[in-house]
Amino acid sequence: APRHLLSIADLTPAELTTLVRNAHRHKTTITSVNEIPLSLRSALAGKTVAMTFSKRSTRTRVSTEGAIAALGGSPMFLGKDDIQLGVNESLYDTARIISSMTAAIVARVGPHSDVADLAKYSSVPVINALSDLYHPLQIIADVLTIAEVNLSSSSTSLGLEGIKIAWIGDANNVLFDLAIGATKLGMDISVATPNGYEIPEAMRAVINQAASTAPKPGKLFETTVPEEAIKDADILVTDTWVSMGQEEDTAKRLKAFEGFQITSELAKRGGAKENWTFMHCLPRHPEEVSNEVFHGPRSVVFREGENRLWAAISALEAFVVNKGKIL
Ligand code: CP
Ligand code: NVA
């Protein structure tokens, strides 16, 4: 069976580190010489990678299509109105058929079980391009961004131990994979969510289990008070309060999340570290972060966005070109 990338939980701490290091190496070499190294240029030549997306996407689509093209392959974008899946054909039949003609499937889905089932029935690697539980490609880019902003590049580990991340907002897919990745790499993560929007118990168990695979795991703290999460944080991060598929609850959610907007005053009141930086996977809405922070000097959101490309190249290289060997 092929090896799939459905969540950061599928990676050992060393593998996550290698994926991030490779992403960084590709970024440095490709940007400095302004071209793709020969070894990568034709890695997927003559191959098609299917991209089945049941939801909108800017970054994931552009970075993944760009990464496939950079490796010499042909991306085939299949939006929900393009294929029979869901209307006229089962996931099983779709997985069998698409995987019989392609080198990999990059899938954006609603319920995580859809991408898990796709992986179960596919004869080629499946990469999760966002489900309601996880967003691994985002987190590879996020760890790269954290490493670039906070570090000198050190030996085999990324040297992120001791960094503290504060997540202020919704307990969602991006948070779950970020918490898994952070704690695997020895970073602490403090999560502030409003009452009633906490990390579900089953997910808390997944995060703690993932952390336990690390030599020096980071810790997960949870609170309903943003200031408590922010104390001594190096990084303040959030995401939308209304994820795709939750649009019906918009009014209720906007009310529940009042007071959770990331602003300079909140960071100060909470006692963030002097040099805190701001991250957001995007797309961004003004309610979750003030314009001042979002467009200010602490914000690394556009670097984080660009890093999606380098993360996608690294993930495709590992899971498609090298068949799941993360070297
Ligand atoms: N961050 C992210 O996944 O953005 P898109 O929804 O635009 O792909
Ligand atoms: N949590 C958001 C992330 C979008 C990239 C969503 O699922 O819509």
In a domain, 3, yes or no: no
Q: Which ligand is nearest to the CA of 53?
A: 1
CA nearest neighbour of 132 among 59, 48, 200, 222: 200
In a domain, 115, yes or no: yes
Q: What is the pLDDT of residue 170?
A: 98
For residues 150 and 277, state if they share a domain. Answer: yes
Q: Could you give the ipTM of this predicted complex?
A: 0.99
301: which 2 tokens? 């959101």
Q: How confident is the model at residue 198 (pLDDT cuts 50, 70, 90)?
A: very high
Helix (H) or strand (E) holding 128: strand 126-128
End-to-end CA distance of the chain: 19
Helix axes 136-150, 13-33, angle to 10 degrees: 70
For residues 161 and 220, state if they share a domain. Answer: yes
Q: What is the pLDDT of residue 157?
A: 73
Q: What is the pLDDT of residue 159?
A: 86
173: which 2 tokens? 């897919």
Alpha helices in the chain (DSSP H): 13-33, 38-41, 59-70, 91-101, 112-121, 136-150, 173-184, 201-211, 226-230, 250-256, 264-270, 291-294, 301-316
Mutation pick for ligand 2 pocket among 54, 138, 173 (CB with most ligand atoms within 8 Å): 173
* 43 tagged catalytic: no
d(CA 103, CA 109): 19
CA nearest neighbour of 7 among 208, 126, 122, 177: 177
For residues 236 and 298, state if they share a domain. Answer: yes
3-state secondary structure of 60: helix
The pLDDT tens digits of the residues spanning 222-276 come to 999 999 999 999 999 999 999 999 999 999 999 999 999 999 999 999 999 999 9
The pLDDT tens digits of the residues spanning 151-163 come to 655 556 788 999 9
Q: How confident is the model at residue 317 (pLDDT cuts 50, 70, 90)?
A: very high
Active-site residue, selected from the candidate residues 189, 281, 301, 320 = 281
Assign residue 27 the CATH number of its domain. Answer: 3.40.50.1370
For residues 237 and 266, state if they share a domain. Answer: yes
Range of the domain at 176: 139-305
